[in-house]
Structure 1
Amino acid sequence: MLLQFSHKRLRDRALFERWDQLDSRLFDRIPRERLHEAQAQLLGHIVLPGDPEYDEDRKLFNPVFDSYPDLIVYCAVDGDIAIALRLAQDSTVPFTVRSGGHCTAGFSAGRGLLIDVSNLDDVCIDANARVATVGTGCTFAKLNSALAHYDLHVPGGECPDVCIGGYVQGGGYGFTSVTFGMNCDNVIDMRVMLADGRIVVASKTLNADLWWAMRGGTGGNFGVLLTVRYRLRLLGDVFGWALIWPLQTDHDFENATGALMALQSGYMLDKLRQALNIQVSLCWQPGIGLETIHAARPFLMVRGLYVGTQADGEKAIQPLCELPGAITQWTRMDSFNDLNVRLLDYPFSMPWFGAEQATMPCEDKASRYVTRALDEREWRGLLDYFVSSPNPYSYFYMEFYGGAINSPAEYDNAFVHRRAAFNAVLDVLWFNEGEREPCERFLNGWIEYMAPMWNGEIYQNYPRLGQSDYGACYWGEAQGSLDRVKRKYDPQAAFTFAQQVCPPLSSPHGPVIPGPSWLPQAIEQPIDYGQSAVNR
């Protein structure tokens, strides 16, 4: 084949011809010739403002974030990331790394150069060893589909479009986490590209401090995650269930408050069986059965997944089914993949927008961890506050912790929320700018209501812009150790964003604070580049 007619040559030639027609001001920060040079080296491709695909490619999942990067580099192989990093640093242009674009605070994009790794999505499964090697851009839709063929599993996200890259670095809660731990607890090792383009492996025995930090320390801090090797679990069919309580009359509210008290006394922390995974929600729905029978109304919804037999699952939830006002919507023995969808989408989606709604809503959310028991007045107040939502799209949920989530030591890795009873979350959603202010006011009011119950911690996979002392909220006393790891692996602070790892506000130059006993010594060791090092 004549090389001048290869797909890459033809594509690059078309790109260069198009770029030559663009406004010269687009190349003020990075010269046109330098972009030609970078594109010629890439297996992937560059998208610039003015390119027909730019306006769609720049968007994130949440339309409230409206960034306009100077350019987007779509990486096809690891080496493309090194080219993009060098391009940004040589041009002194800030950069952001994006895998799926689902960061709730919009940190998946920004000005400057956007490095998109969504095409690094390979999955390789060793069924005999029960190990999966997964690319950072792999979605959970793809990963779960690949694992299902072998009846293998790793705890994963509820949204099929979320990629593992950001998810695992923030901890990673899913509907089997009480049984099998957070997603990050199942990591064997990670391959990571540092800012200088060199690749390191982070594991329990190799660069162990980085392995500790990147399992909870959040993405965009230490390097670019390339691949993760997961330890897999055998998982056949599991038992799913859905209970619902109306919230219309005073009697309904009494029943729902009683249900929350019963959940607290019988299904939280050490009372929660490791096989039982529970999510409690407050949400507007248009009915209880399959038919839409009324305008959306508020309900208390308790749903979950039992890793075991149907008989054992039914026995585990029987006390809940017998509570006053409880209605069983459905129970089902099925595959994890099917139930992972059904639990949030059947008989109606949560939240529910109506079948005719095709526009993606804007979203804001907040997370608050709770470790103590709530009294009856506090539970009732939570119900009363929720039904005052300015629209029927608000969605409150509690992700119950316990079991394998809480069994590791508190600082076993950088996901530190090991004492929580549950993670309480409120999502507010709107479709036009006029709805935004009342929704934001409602969210802020909920944050004020939760303050007496809050333990001071926030799930780092649910960040919010403007959060004060975010480091203490996300990482607790592990923040000092995380800062030292960052300064070791990113000494020039190439990886920056609004809520990056930084020194604790209380002791910016203090000692390394709690972590595993081996961590201080590991931080003092030089970086081990091993056989995987790539020289620039």
Structure 2
Amino acid sequence: MAARSKAGAALTALREDLVGDVFAPGDPGYDDTRTAFSTLPDRRPAVIAQCADAADVVRAVRFARELDLRVAVRGGGHGLAGARIDGALVVDLRRMHQVTVDPAAEAVRIGGGATISHLDRATQPYGLATTGARASTTGVGGFVLGGGTGWLDRAFGLAVDNLLGVELVTAEAERVHANADENPDLFWALHGGGGNFGIATALTLELHELPEFSVVQLLCLPESGPDVVRTFREIIHSGPDEVSGAVRYRTGPPARYTPPALVGELVCAVLLTYAGGEDDLRKLAEPLLALPHEAELAGDLPYADLQCLLDDPPGLRGHWSAEYLAALPDDAVDLFCARAAGMPVPAGAQHILFPQGGAIPAGPRAYPVAYRDAPWAVHPFALWEDPADDGRAIAWVRDVRAAVRPWSTGAVCLNLIGDEGPERVRAGLGEENTLRLAKVKRRWDPDNVFRFNHNIRPI
């Protein structure tokens, strides 16, 4: 009874003190607020603190420590890590999505709850950009702190390579800054170590000039996949760092460039992106354009608009993973394409192959980014609606990973996987990095308050 009374009094105080909103089970709005991008599994946190500013985050963490609650953090996006948040306090940052651009310094400060759309829409009027994700609905905070790979990483480096500073609320409810000069060990850990060390209430990123951006996308029949992938591979190998893209098997969407006969059918879509103008991209894309295809979209396109075109639908069940490859020989191409046959279709699933290289391996070597040198990544991304398809969809993701594992480096960007166990986290970060991260964790979160992530346990 005393414990229940203490919890009730603390919750009442939190409701009174928070500028933002507080939701508990049974409150109007609780179910809507707890809904995540993926409905698998169904999450029921004890309390949701929808914070309005960094001071609210401090109040929420103090509340959690008073009641010995674990803390989960929700930015703006749709990661799978941290799915098991039943009974925890969720610090919901989505109201904290302010973006401030400093064009003279070529830098941007982003609130911890901002999405890639918030970031790109703010920087685009200045002809500036930084590496963002491959969908506008991705949350910037988790994306950057987990490494951050996207359409511009071959040109500008990984998102984390562009990180200039982080404003953080620690497990002790203290506000700290981390940059190259202030708390440098913490700053190092935030380059790939994710949300293990505190709640990022704001991040500052370096910007780059992006006056032009263009794309070529083709929709091809699935049987054309091997030729498409081999041609795409050669364009990436011989092209400049400014060119990137992906091959994606997916269900044909009802888009303006999709022939009616392909809507709802499996297609092989190849996308070339270019940090430059359409004329130069068309020259690079000539070998692809010469292949048989059913539909074509090509031209100059604002970078932020591309992100929105490729968004995935929320409210479905989801499971995904990735393997980073040391090479992409023809045998690997054939296996990648063959595994598209097992996709859950029709659904929002995608079977994705994307390149690295360019500025990525040339980036800072000291950070815990063990996948930096891998030239290719395979990313099976399953979305489906019917719970009866759970086993089939999850098995497909695992089957894709198993098929390409002979070429895998073992390292992985943790942004692209769910909860796959501590061994996978160590492999993703590297053994030496994991040990050093555990020491930083001991300094900043010795009680492992922030554990609903790709968790690094304190030594």
Judge same fold: TM > 0.5, yes or no. Answer: yes
Of 21, 31, 52, 1:55 maps to 31
**Residue 495 of structure 1 corresponds to which residue in structure 2?**
450
| Residue among 441, 444, 452 paired with 2:395 | 441
Report if aligned partners of 1:96, 1:108 keep a CA contact under 8 Å in 2: no
Paired amino acid for 1:217: G
Contact persistence 1:139–1:160 (CA under 8 A): yes
| Structure 1 partner of 2:139 | 163
Q: 1:464 to 1:38 in 2, by over 3 A?
A: closer
Q: How does 1:20-99 map to 2 (within 5 A)?
A: 28=4, 30-99=6-75
Q: Secondary structure at the match of 1:133?
A: strand
- State the 1:266 CA deviation: 4.3
1:405 to 354, 360, 363: 360
Relative distance call for 1:51 and 1:60 in structure 2 (3 A) is same
SS at match of 1:118: coil
Q: Which amino acid aligns with 2:188?
A: W
Cα drift, residue 360 of structure 1: 2.6
Q: Does 1:231 align with 2:206?
A: yes
Query: 2:49·2:90 contact (CA, 8 Å) conserved in 1?
Result: yes
Question: CA offsets, 1:122-161, max 9 Å, x none?
Answer: 2222222222111101122222211122222111123323
Identity among equivalent positions (%) equals: 23
In the TM superposition, residue 370 of structure 1 has moved relative to its aligned partner by 0.5
Q: Is the 8 A contact 1:179 1:404 kept in 2?
A: yes
Q: Does 2:211 correspond to 1:244?
A: no
1:131/1:468 CA distance change after superposition, 3 Å: closer
Tell me the equivalent position of 2:296: 329
Q: Give CA deviations for 1:464-515 in whole Å, capped at 9, x if unaligned.
A: 2234612223201321111111112223332223631137xxxxx8xxxxxx
Partner of 1:456: 410
Return the alpha-carbon distance in structure 1 between the equivalents of residues 179 and 60 of structure 2. 26
User: Which residue type is aligned with residue 208 of structure 1?
Assistant: P
Spell out the pairing of 1:464-483 with structure 2 (5 A cutoff).
464-467=418-421, 469-477=423-431, 478-483=433-438
**TM superposition shift of 1:333:** 1.0
In the alignment, the residues of structure 2 paired with residue 286 and residue 497 of structure 1 have an alpha-carbon distance, to the nearest angstrom, of 34
**1:471–1:502 Cα contact (<8 Å) kept:** no
User: What letter corresponds to residue 312 of structure 1 in structure 2?
Assistant: D
1:508-531 CA-partner distances (Å, limit 9, x unpaired): x8xxxxxxxxxxxxxxxxxxxxxx
Q: Provide the residue aligned with 1:137 in structure 2.
A: 113
Q: How far apart, CA to CA, are the structure 2 residues paired with 1:402 and 1:169?
A: 20
The question of 1:316 aligning with 2:270 is answered: no
CA contact (8 A) 1:99 1:166 kept: yes
Q: Residues 410 and 428 of structure 2 are in contact (CA less than 8 Å); yes or no, is this contact kept in structure 1?
A: no
Q: Specify whether residues 442 and 169 from structure 1 end up closer, same or farther in structure 2 by C-alpha distance, changes over 3 A only.
A: same
Q: 1:328 to 1:435 in 2, by over 3 A?
A: closer
The question of whether the paired residues in 2 share the 8 Å contact of 1:139 and 1:162 is answered with yes
Q: Which amino acid aligns with 1:440?
A: I
Q: Could you tell me whether the CA contact under 8 Å between 2:171 and 2:450 is conserved in 1? A: yes
Deviation at 1:367, TM superposition (A): 0.6
Distance in 2 between the 1:340 and 1:51 partners?
A: 35
When residues 502 and 471 of structure 1 are mapped into structure 2, their CA distance, relative to the original with a 3 A threshold, is: farther
2:130–2:208 Cα contact (<8 Å) kept: yes
Indicate the residue corresponding to 2:322 in structure 1.
367
1:345-375 deviations in Å (ceiling 9; x for gaps): 7xxxx7xxxxxxx983211111111112323
Change (3 A) 1:191 1:400: same
Letter paired with 2:435: G
- More divergent stretch after superposition (443-452 vs 67-76): 443-452
Corresponding residue of 1:214 = 190
Distance 1:85 1:280, change over 3 A: same
Cross-structure match for 1:285: 252
Distance (Å, rounded) in 2 between the aligned partners of 1:266 and 1:446: 24
Alignment check: 8 A CA contact 1:238 1:336 kept? yes
Match among 269, 274, 279 for residue 306 of structure 1: 274
Q: Alpha-carbon deviations, 1:416-437, whole Å to 9, x = none?
A: 3111111211112221211112
Tell me the distance in 1 between the aligned counterparts of 2:220 and 2:235.
Answer: 18
Task: Report the CA distance shift for 1:408/1:450 in structure 2 as closer, same or farther (over 3 A).
Answer: same
3-state secondary structure, aligned to 2:337: helix
Aligned residue number for residue 261 of structure 1: 230
1:151 matched to 2:127: yes
1:199 maps to amino acid: R
* Larger Rg, first or second structure (1 or 2): 1
The one-letter amino acid paired with 1:333 is D
Kindly tell me: are residues 436 and 178 of structure 1, through their superposed partners in 2, closer, same or farther at Cα, counting changes over 3 Å?
same
CA drift of 1:291 comes to: 3.6
Report the Cα distance in structure 2 between the residues aligned to 1:432 and 1:471, rounded to whole angstroms: 30
Amino acid at match of 1:379: V
Matched, 1:485 2:433: no
Name which of structure 1's ranges 378-387 and 417-426 shifts more when overlaid on structure 2. 378-387
Distance 1:470 1:359 in 2: 27
Distance 1:328 1:429, change over 3 A: closer
